[in-house]
Chain A
Amino acid sequence: MISRRQLLNKLGGGIAGLALADTLHRQGLAAARLSPLAAKQPHFPAKAKAVISIFCYGGISQIDSFDPKPELLKRQGEAMTGVGEVMVSQGHPGGLMPSPWPFKKYGQCGMDVSDLFPHVAQHADDLALIRSMHCISNDHGPALYQMNTGTILAGHPSVGSWVTYGLGTENENLPGYVVFTDYRGGPINGAPNWGAGYMPAAYQATPFRAQGDPIVDLKPPARRGDAAQKKWLELLGAMNEKHLARNPLDTELSARIYSYELAYKMQIHATEAIDISKETEATRKLYGLDDQPTEYFGRQALMARRLVERGVRFVQLYSGGGNFEPSWDAHFDLKGNHGQHAAEIDKPIAALIKDLKSRGLFDSTLIVFHSEFGRMPISQRMDGRDHNPDGFAVWLAGAGVKGGSIVGATDHYGYRAVENKKSVYDLHATILHLLGMDHEKLTYYFNGRDMRLTDVHGNLIKEVLA
C-alpha cells in the first residue's frame, strides 16, 4: 500500500480533470477517507443494488386496494364487534362501510386487487404482498417516522440513510439518496422523514425537483457562463492546492478539494439524469406522461428509473402531500380521494415495473410500496375512513423478491392483522437483507450505543425472499 503522502503527490492534478477521482477509485481506502459515500461491500452477496420506495402518504386503505373483505358488504352499517377495543384517532366511529371498489383475481397467484389498481394488478405475479402489517402509532407524524426511520420518535436516520451509510453509492457524481415529494407539498414532519438523524449530513436524502434544475443551488446564475465558472474553479483550486501543500497529510483538506470536483460534475450529471426529453415516445406514453392525472407522478417514476440506472442507491417517491385532501388521508370522501390518488400512480408504477424489466434492472432493483398505516373498516364522517395502525398491506417487488407470494392476513373485517403478523422492524430487516446487509450487524455508534435501524427487534420476512 502506498503512503498517504505518495498518494497525495499523485493527486496533484487539481480541479481540472478526472485524474484525481480515478486515482481515488483505484485506491478504495483513500477514496473512503475522502468521501463518506464511496461504494462499500455488503455483508453478503445480494441481488438488490438499489431501492425505489413508493410512499403513499396519508394512509392508503388496505381494504379498498389489496385486502378484499366481502364481509363488509354483507354487514354494511353494522357495528364492528368482537375485535376488542376499537381505537379511532378522530372520534365518532360509524358502522362497517363496504369498499366502493370491486376486487378481481389476477395472475397465476390469483391475487385479489381492487379496481383502484388495474395496471399494477397486471404484475400480480411480481409482487410479494404482505397483508398482516402493523405499526405502533395511529398518528401520521410518529407513524411516518416509524415507517421511515424505525422508531416513532424524531432524530433517527431514515432507511435510505442506513442504506447509503452501509453501501455508499455507485455513482458519486449524483447524490446517493434522492427524494421526490408530491406536487401538492411534502408529507408532515418534513425533511426528518428522509433525514440522517444523528448520522453525518452525507447520508441524508437530497430533495429532487421534477422540473427545472433538479437540486436547489445546483448551478450558478445564468449570467455567469460555464467558461467563467471553470476559470473560477481553477483559481480556487490553485489556492487550495497551495494551502494543501503546507499541510500535505490532512485528508480533510484533500476531501474538501475533491468535493468541489464532485460538485462540478454533479451539475452536469444531475441535470442529465432527470432529462427525460431523450426518452422515446413509447416510454413516455408507458408512464402516462401524455395524460394529465399521471403526468406528474409518471415523470418522477421515470426519473427514478433513470437515477437507479445511473447508480443512485435509494430513491423515495411520495404520493400525496400536505394534509387531508391532498394526501391519502381520506377521513371523508374515500371514493373521491383514493380514486384520484390511485389514478395518478397506478399506471406509472406498472410502467416502472415493466420498464425496469425490459432494461434488465428489475433483478437489481427493489421496489417497496407502502404507507405509514392503513385505514378502518368502519366509516368516518359518513363516507371516509379513519387511521388504522393495527392492520395494513405493503408489497415488495424486484430484486430477490418472490413474486406472487401473499403473506399473512387481517381479521374478517380487515381491522387487525391476526395471521403471521409483520412489524415495521420486520419489513426493515427484510429490506436490508435484500441489499446484502444483516440488520443486526449494520450499526452506528451514537451516544454510547451501537444504534440499529431495527433497534433490538426485527425478524426477516422469509416468505417474500426468492
Chain B
Amino acid sequence: MKLGCLLGFAVTTVLAAQGDLPQQAAAILKKSCVSCHGGGLKMSGLDLTSQDALVTGGSRGAAVVAGKPDSSLLYRLITHQEKPTMPPGSKLSDADLDTLRKWIASGPSLPAAQAAAAPAKPDLSRLEDRPITAEERNYWAFRPPVRREPPPLASNPVDAFLLQAFKAKGLTPSPRAGARTLIRRAYLDLTGLPPTPAEVEDFAQDPSPARWRAVIEKLLASPHYGERWGRHWLDLVRYADSGGFERDFDWPNAWRYRDYVVAAFNKDKPYDVFLREQLAGDEIDSRSNEAMTATGYLRLGLDNNIKNERTRLDELDDLVTTTSVGFLGLTVGCARCHNHKFDPIPQKDYYRMQAVFYSTKGIEHPLVTPEEVAKHKAETKRVRDLQKPLLDAKKEIEEPFRKKLFAERIAALPEYLQIAWKTPPEKRTEGQKLNAEQIEKTLVIKEKEILALLPAGLEKRHAELAAQIEALNQQLPKPYPTARAIAEPGREALPSHFLHRGALDAKGSVMPPGVITVAWNGEFEFPPAPPEAPSSWRRKAFAEWLTSPGNPLTARVMVNRIWQHHFGEGIVRTSSNFGKTGTPPSHPELLDWLATEFIARGWSIKAMHRLMMTSDAYQMASDDIEANLKHDPENRLFWRMPRQRLQAETLRDQILWAAGTLDLAVGGPAVFPHIDPALYQSSTGRTWPGKPDTDPSTWRRSLYVFMKRSIRYPLFEAFDQPDAVNSCDRRNRSTIAPQALLLMNNAFVILQAEKFAERLQKDAGPDPAKQVDLAWRLALSRPPDETELARSVAYLKSGDGTLAQFAQMIFNLNEFAYRQ
C-alpha cells in the first residue's frame, strides 16, 4: 500500500507538469480501478475506460456528476465517505484524490486513448489463489488425527480421557443415574420412544452392566433406531418433501431418500459407504436402486422455480455449503465471493468444489425394470394415438366460434391498440409491432366461452368427443415408482468458471475439480472417467477423498456429531464448524481417539454408540454438583449428563405413545395431519391435504409427517424443528408461550389426552390412584411419589377436572418434555 501511494504520487506529479487533467485522471483510473471496472471485467456494470460508459455509470447509478465531486458516487467511494470503499482494502493517495476531485469539478472527460489501454481479458489468476502457510496447515483440525493410548484410569477409553481432564480441573464426576432414568435415557436417545413400564421395571430389578449392554443391543436392533438417527441426518442435509420457493412444489417421492437414510442407519451401513453413495451412487453402481436413491441427497436443496444461470449457481452454492458444513465441518460457502476471511480456504477451493457438482442434473430414476419402463411408454403412446383424431375433431368444431369471439374482443380494445392491430404488418411502427404481437399471443379465448355459443347439435357432438378423450385418459397406464436421483450429460464435465466476487459478469478461468487444499497433503488426483462412463466421475473421486483415512475432518466431524446427540453438546461445540471461528475441542485427544477408532471399526456408527453408551460418563446423573458448577458451569468437560429438551418430533411421538395410539409402521409415503387453514393461507400450488385429527392414519411417527417448506406443522415449528432450508447441526431450544398454548389448547393434543385417559381407564380400572400410577409409569417411566400421587388423586376426586384433563396435564409437565 505504501508503494502504491508512492507510485500514485509519482503519476500525479509527473502529469501535473503537463497540466492535462483528463490524462492524469485516466492514468489514476487505469492504475487503481480499471483492472476491475473496465475491459473484460466490468464489476457492478461499471466501465471506467470510455467517456460514454463513464456517464452511464454502473448498476449503482451514475459514477460521476459533472461539477459535483461530493455528489459523485465514484468520489464518495474512493474518499471512503460511503461503502463499499474503493479500491477494496486500500485508499488512493491524497494527491490522486485531489486530482480526481478537480477532474470531476471541471466536468470529467476521458481521452479517447483510454479505451485501448484497458486489458482485453480479465486476469484473475492473482485473485484465484492464496498461499497456505505451514502454520495454517498445522491448525488442529487440518492435521490427521493422532491416536494416543488412553490414560490407564478406566476400562472404557471414553472414561479414561474424561477422568484425566476431571483430575486436571479438580472436578468430581457425577454418580450413576438411577435405573429408571437410565433406561428412559437410552430408549429416547436410540429410538426416540420411551420404554414400556414393564421394560422399566425389568431393568430396575437388575441394572447391572451386562443388562445395560443387553438393553443397548436390543435398541440398536430396533427398526425405530434408524428413524431416530435418520432424523438427525435429515436435519443436517435439510431434507424436505417439497422444493420451496414461491410455488413450493411437492416432491411426492422424496420419502424414498428418507427411507434410504433410515435403512442405512438400521443396517449400520459403514459411514464411508453412506457418504460415497449419496455423493456418487450413480458413478458407483447405476443399476442399484439403493445407490441411485442415495443420490437424492444432491437434489434436496431448494428448487428455484426460475431456471437460469444465476439460480443454478445458487443451487450449487447451497449444495457446496451443505456438503462442506455437513460432511467436513467447514464453512466453504464463505469463500464464494472472496477467500475465506478466517480459515485458509481460498476462493479457488470453492470453485473447484463447485466444479465437482457442476454437471449434475436431476432425473427420476425408475424403480422398476427397463422392460416395464418400455411397456409403460408403448402403452402411453397407444392411448395418445387414439386421442389424436378426437382432439382434432373437437378443435375443428371450436375454431369458427373462437374467431368470432376474437374479433369481438379486438373491437373492445382502446383505439390505439385497434389501430396497431389493423395496420398491415409491414407498415407498423416498432410500438405497433409489439402491441400487435402482444394481442396475438395473449388474447386467449377460453373453451368455456366457446361452449356458451355452441348450438345444440354441435354442443352434443363436442361433449361426446370430450367424453371419449376423457375415457381414454382413464386407460393411460399408472406411473411407475421412481426415486429422485442425479445424472450427468456425459463423460465430459460441463465447464464451470471461477467468478470474481461471486458475480456472473466477472467470469475467470475454467475451474478443474478439486478438494480442500489445506485438508490434503499435496495435490489430489481426479482420475479421468473410463471411456464408456456416462458421467465425469468427479463426484466419485471427491467422495473417495472425503472418506479416505487421510482426510483429517470426515471421521472427526461424524464422531463429534454422535457424541453431541448423546451428551447434549459436542466435544467441538460448533459441530458444523471446525474452523477458526468455531470452538476448539474440549478433549482433543479423546476426539482423535474416537475418530481413529471409528475408522478402525469400519466406520460403524453402531460401534460408536456401544462405546459411548457403555461408558460411565454416559450413565451419569444430571443433578447439580455445586463445587463443579463453580469450575465448569457449562459442563464443558462433561462431568454430568445435561438435561435435554425433547425434539419436537419426539415430543409428539411420546404423546401418541403414551396415549397408546401411535402407529409404529416404518417407512412409506408421508402423511398429512390436520393444520388449521388460518395458518397456511393456501395459494396456487400451496395446499395441505390435511386429514382430521381423528384419522388414525395420521398417528404415525413424526418423521413421516410431510415436510412442506412453506407450510410447517405448527407443533414442530413452535418446538424448533429446523426449516429445512439450511443445514442444521444442533437445534435451537427456545422456550416460548406459544409452545404452552399449543400443548394446552391444540385439538390434536386434547384428542390424544382423551385417548390417554381411555387407556388409563381401561388398563388401570376405576381407582384414581391406579390411574395416576399408570399415567406416571407410561409417560415418565417411573411411579409417582407420595405427594404427586396424593395431589393428583385429590384433583381427580374433587371434580376439579376430568381424567382427560389430568392426562393432558401430564403432556405439559416439564419432566415429560425433557430427558435427563
Q: Is B727 an interface residue (CB 8 A)?
A: yes
Q: Using Cβ atoms and an 8 Å threshold, which residues of chain B touch A141?
A: 245-247, 305
Q: Is A268 an interface residue (CB 8 A)?
A: no
Q: Is B379 an interface residue (CB 8 A)?
A: no
Q: A206, B738: Cβ atoms under 8 Å?
A: yes
Chain B min CB distance to A280 (Å): 29
Q: Is A289 an interface residue (CB 8 A)?
A: no
Selecting from B8-16, B24-32, B433-441, the interface stretch reads: B433-441
Q: A94, B435: Cβ atoms under 8 Å?
A: yes
Q: A231, B723: Cβ atoms under 8 Å?
A: no
Q: B438, A228: Cβ atoms under 8 Å?
A: no
Q: Is A43 an interface residue (CB 8 A)?
A: no
Q: A242, B643: Cβ atoms under 8 Å?
A: no
- Identify the interface centre among A200, A215, A263: most chain B CB within 10 Å of its CB: A263
- Whether A189 contacts B710 in the complex (CB less than 8 A), given A154-B725, A448-B579, A448-B582, comes out as yes
Chain A min CB distance to B18 (Å): 35
Q: Using Cβ atoms and an 8 Å threshold, which residues of chain A touch B62?
A: 418
Q: Is B682 an interface residue (CB 8 A)?
A: yes
Selecting from B448-456, B585-593, B691-699, B742-750, the interface stretch reads: B742-750
Q: Is A70 an interface residue (CB 8 A)?
A: no
Selecting from B133-141, B259-267, B526-534, B672-680, the interface stretch reads: B672-680
Q: B733, A252: Cβ atoms under 8 Å?
A: yes
Q: Using Cβ atoms and an 8 Å threshold, which residues of chain A touch B248?
A: 189-190
Contact of B61 among A93, A247, A421 (CB under 8 A): A421
- Whether A382 contacts B805 in the complex (CB less than 8 A), given A243-B814, A253-B814, A449-B334, comes out as no
Interface residues of B in 388-427 (CB under 8 A from A): 413-414, 416-417, 420
Q: Using Cβ atoms and an 8 Å threshold, which residues of chain B touch A447?
A: 321, 325, 331, 333, 576-577, 726-727
Q: B683, A240: Cβ atoms under 8 Å?
A: no
Q: A192, B740: Cβ atoms under 8 Å?
A: no
- Whether A448 contacts B574 in the complex (CB less than 8 A), given A189-B245, A323-B683, comes out as yes
Q: Using Cβ atoms and an 8 Å threshold, which residues of chain A touch B746?
A: 217
Q: A195, B745: Cβ atoms under 8 Å?
A: no
Q: Is A46 an interface residue (CB 8 A)?
A: no
Q: Is B720 an interface residue (CB 8 A)?
A: yes
Q: A94, B438: Cβ atoms under 8 Å?
A: yes
Q: Is B709 an interface residue (CB 8 A)?
A: yes
- Whether A79 contacts B331 in the complex (CB less than 8 A), given A185-B682, A231-B800, A259-B735, comes out as no
Selecting from A107-115, A123-131, A218-226, A345-353, the interface stretch reads: A218-226
Q: Using Cβ atoms and an 8 Å threshold, which residues of chain B touch A219?
A: 745
Q: B442, A380: Cβ atoms under 8 Å?
A: yes
Contact of A185 among B304, B683, B791 (CB under 8 A): B683
- Whether A192 contacts B723 in the complex (CB less than 8 A), given A81-B430, A232-B805, A448-B325, comes out as yes
Q: A191, B680: Cβ atoms under 8 Å?
A: yes
Q: Using Cβ atoms and an 8 Å threshold, which residues of chain B touch A363?
A: none
Q: A380, B629: Cβ atoms under 8 Å?
A: no
Q: A197, B246: Cβ atoms under 8 Å?
A: no
Q: Is A175 an interface residue (CB 8 A)?
A: yes
Q: A190, B711: Cβ atoms under 8 Å?
A: yes
Q: Is B718 an interface residue (CB 8 A)?
A: yes
A417 to B815, CA, bound (A): 58
Q: Is B387 an interface residue (CB 8 A)?
A: no
A92 to B435, CA, bound (A): 8
Query: What number of A-B contacts does a CB cutoff of 8 Å give?
Result: 285
A144 to B431, CA, bound (A): 32
A155 to B437, CA, bound (A): 40
Q: Is B566 an interface residue (CB 8 A)?
A: no
Chain A min CB distance to B730 (Å): 11
Q: A252, B438: Cβ atoms under 8 Å?
A: no
Q: A238, B791: Cβ atoms under 8 Å?
A: yes
A77 to B430, CA, bound (A): 9
A215 to B739, CA, bound (A): 12
A2 to B443, CA, bound (A): 75
Contact of A263 among B414, B741, B787 (CB under 8 A): B741
A188 to B735, CA, bound (A): 29
Interface residues of B in 277-329 (CB under 8 A from A): 302, 304-306, 314, 318, 321, 325
- Whether A92 contacts B438 in the complex (CB less than 8 A), given A447-B577, A449-B334, comes out as yes
Q: Is B203 an interface residue (CB 8 A)?
A: no
A414 to B720, CA, bound (A): 44
Q: B61, A186: Cβ atoms under 8 Å?
A: no
Contact of B643 among A137, A250, A323 (CB under 8 A): A250
Q: Using Cβ atoms and an 8 Å threshold, which residues of chain A touch B82?
A: 459
A206 to B622, CA, bound (A): 35
- Give a binary string over B319-361; 1 marks a CB under 8 Å from any A CB, 0 the rest: 0010001000001011000000010000000000000000000
- Whether A36 contacts B734 in the complex (CB less than 8 A), given A321-B681, A448-B334, A448-B582, comes out as yes
Q: Using Cβ atoms and an 8 Å threshold, which residues of chain A touch B714?
A: 216-217
Interface residues of A in 99-141 (CB under 8 A from B): 137, 139-141
Contact of B246 among A140, A200, A215, A253 (CB under 8 A): A140
Q: B679, A139: Cβ atoms under 8 Å?
A: no
Q: Is B539 an interface residue (CB 8 A)?
A: no
Chain A min CB distance to B760 (Å): 16
Contact of A382 among B83, B246, B443, B574 (CB under 8 A): B443
Q: Is the interface of A mostly helix, strand, loop or mixed?
A: loop
Q: Is B795 an interface residue (CB 8 A)?
A: yes
Chain A min CB distance to B649 (Å): 15
Q: Is A153 an interface residue (CB 8 A)?
A: yes
Q: B623, A78: Cβ atoms under 8 Å?
A: no
Q: Using Cβ atoms and an 8 Å threshold, which residues of chain A touch B439?
A: 382
Q: A381, B438: Cβ atoms under 8 Å?
A: yes
Q: Is B600 an interface residue (CB 8 A)?
A: no
Q: Is B432 an interface residue (CB 8 A)?
A: yes
Q: B734, A263: Cβ atoms under 8 Å?
A: no
Q: B430, A418: Cβ atoms under 8 Å?
A: no
- Whether A266 contacts B737 in the complex (CB less than 8 A), given A186-B683, A216-B676, comes out as yes
Q: B740, A382: Cβ atoms under 8 Å?
A: no
Q: Is B684 an interface residue (CB 8 A)?
A: yes
Q: Using Cβ atoms and an 8 Å threshold, which residues of chain A touch B645?
A: 252
Q: B305, A242: Cβ atoms under 8 Å?
A: no
What residue of chain A has the Cβ atom nearest to residue B645's Cβ? A252
Q: Using Cβ atoms and an 8 Å threshold, which residues of chain B touch A190?
A: 248, 680-681, 683, 686, 710-711
Q: Using Cβ atoms and an 8 Å threshold, which residues of chain B touch A383?
A: 414
- Whether A459 contacts B792 in the complex (CB less than 8 A), given A154-B245, A154-B725, A200-B734, comes out as no
Q: Is B717 an interface residue (CB 8 A)?
A: yes
Q: Is B106 an interface residue (CB 8 A)?
A: no
- Give a binary string over A313-340; 1 marks a CB under 8 Å from any B CB, 0 the rest: 0000000011100000000100000000
Q: Is B468 an interface residue (CB 8 A)?
A: no
Interface residues of B in 44-78 (CB under 8 A from A): 60-62
Q: Using Cβ atoms and an 8 Å threshold, which residues of chain B touch A323?
A: 683-684
Q: Is A244 an interface residue (CB 8 A)?
A: yes
Q: A448, B435: Cβ atoms under 8 Å?
A: no
Q: Is A91 an interface residue (CB 8 A)?
A: yes
Q: Is B445 an interface residue (CB 8 A)?
A: no
Q: Using Cβ atoms and an 8 Å threshold, which residues of chain B touch A42?
A: none
Q: Using Cβ atoms and an 8 Å threshold, which residues of chain A touch B84?
A: 456
Q: Using Cβ atoms and an 8 Å threshold, which residues of chain B touch A238?
A: 791
Chain B min CB distance to A149 (Å): 11
Given contacts A172-B737, A216-B678, A382-B439, 15 further A-B contacts (CB under 8 A): A35-B736, A78-B431, A154-B244, A186-B683, A190-B686, A192-B710, A200-B732, A201-B717, A216-B676, A221-B750, A263-B744, A321-B681, A323-B684, A379-B435, A459-B82
A-B contact pairs, 8 of them (CB 8 A): A137-B306, A155-B725, A185-B682, A217-B745, A263-B737, A266-B737, A447-B333, A448-B574
Which A residues have a C-beta under 8 Å from some C-beta of B? 34-37, 76-79, 81, 91-96, 137, 139-142, 144, 153-155, 172, 175, 181, 185-192, 195, 197-202, 204, 206-207, 209, 215-221, 224, 228, 231-232, 235-236, 238-240, 242-244, 246-250, 252-253, 255-257, 259-260, 262-263, 266-267, 321-323, 332, 378-383, 417-421, 446-449, 456-459
The 10 closest A-B pairs by CB, nearest first: A141-B246, A186-B681, A155-B725, A190-B710, A95-B431, A448-B331, A263-B740, A200-B734, A79-B430, A262-B737
